[in-house]
Structure 1
Amino acid sequence: MKYLILVFFIINSTCSTAQNTFQNSKKHRIGYVLSIGDTRKFLDLGTPIAYSITSHQINYFYKWREKEKTSWEFMVAPQINHAKYKDFEDNRDWIELKEQGVNFGVSYNYAITKSTKTYLLLSIGPHYISELIPYRAAKGLTFSDNATVGITQKISSNFSFDLRYGIRHISNAGLKKPNIGINTMMLSTGLYVQL
């Protein structure tokens, strides 16, 4: 993680020019986001399980409100996720599973410089889990709820680099049992182009 932060600050120091501003930028942006998550690596949540996930996402943002230093964006994020699960209280092997789904969210952004902004992103969406996660989540329909904070750096007039950290919760809203759910800390990085 410290290497990602170092890369971010190098990009920031070399790309902070007047034409790379977020103010009055285009309303649409799209990008690829790679997320990794784990119940034990980034922040141990104290559960007797391990859930490790790699997420490949396309994030689309639409800016619907902008003021001098703040803006609001709507987000759509289809994704394909690969995960593995292990419960340390029983003798089962690791379970490998896939998730597919889409999240819808809202982002509140604050420009700390002309080319750097921080944000809070909240999202939720339906997903499909390919396997039963014993005691935690049923196979089939589930929901992914996410709360993240991040920082975005313009690297040219049309491209930006993104780094975010947050928590993800999956459960099925009581539609099937089991429904305890899983909480995972997530670290994400992305590259965006304005349309």
Structure 2
Amino acid sequence: MARKLLLILMLLLAVKMSAQEGNSRFCFGFNYGFGSEFSNRNYTFNSHFYKLQLYYLLKETKHFQYQILVQPEINFAEHQLLNFYFVKPETPNYQQKREEYTRLKDIREFALNCGFLVRKPIGKVCSFYVLGSIGPMITDTETERMSKGFAFADVLALGFTTSYNKLQFDIRPSIRHVSNAGLGSSNAGYNTKNIEFGIYYQL
């Protein structure tokens, strides 16, 4: 009798744990993306980047889901000043800086963005969402547009997700602005349009 009760108890515990796993609020994944500056005559900026994605479901209603997203990111970029008049004569050593800044530069950016996401399910396997995120960033190269070191990355994105079992496949066009909020000597920043592709797993 005691063995039967123990077996039933263990079975109920296993069912409960399985149900908890099925209703997990966490989702973990990976994104790859690339982008470039909006067309202009002053500079070029092209990049590709990798992001880890950790989602947490805050709330779910009849029509919407509300999620928090944490995104560690590494960005590999190429930048070149095209209009050397951007460096004005009143800038100290402006001729030397014009020569330096007009060279093609490789830039590494390390960011940690935190975002808020509103998702609208469409049927049982698809959804659309809007995402806004902001976070600190470190850039390893000084340019005419931004000082080396600490900065911020702001992203506004739309996305489409389709699901298969616990896997989710995602496409996300976005607009990104990078600047240092005046904490450095140069703060013109960069504005880029991007596209990302991701795969996630429901934990």
Question: Same fold by TM-score, threshold 0.5 exceeded?
Answer: yes
Give 2:79's match in structure 1, choosing from 85, 105, 119. Answer: 85
- State yes or no: 1:29 paired with 2:27: yes
Quick one: distance in 1 between partners of 2:52 and 2:138? 17
Equivalenced residues, count: 166
Which 5+ residue runs of structure 1 have no aligned equivalent?
Answer: 1-23
Amino acid aligned to 1:153: T
Greater helix share, structure number = 2
Identity of aligned residues (%): 28
- State yes or no: 1:110 paired with 2:120: yes
- State yes or no: 1:100 paired with 2:98: no
Amino acid aligned to 2:153: S
Give 1:160's match in structure 2, choosing from 162, 165, 168. Answer: 168
> CA 1:149–1:47 in 2, change beyond 3 Å: closer, same or farther?
farther
The alignment's C-alpha RMSD in Å is 1.4
- The one-character-per-residue Cα deviations of 1:144-170 (angstroms, maximum 9, x if unpaired) are 00000010100x211010001010000
Structure-to-structure mapping, 1:25-174, within 5 angstroms: 26-39=24-37, 44-46=38-40, 48-90=42-84, 92-134=102-144, 136-154=145-163, 156-174=164-182
**1:17: which partner in 2?**
none
Amino acid aligned to 1:126: P
Deviation at 1:46, TM superposition (A): 3.2
Quick one: distance in 1 between partners of 2:109 and 2:119? 29
Quick one: distance in 1 between partners of 2:158 and 2:80? 28
Deviation at 1:26, TM superposition (A): 3.2
Deviation at 1:56, TM superposition (A): 0.6
TM-score, normalised relative to structure 1: 0.82
> CA 1:77–1:123 in 2, change beyond 3 Å: closer, same or farther?
same
Ranked by relative contact order (alpha carbons within 8 Å, sequence separation 6 or more), the top structure is 1
Which 5+ residue runs of structure 2 have no aligned equivalent?
Answer: 1-21, 85-98
SS at match of 2:141: coil
> CA 1:117–1:85 in 2, change beyond 3 Å: closer, same or farther?
same
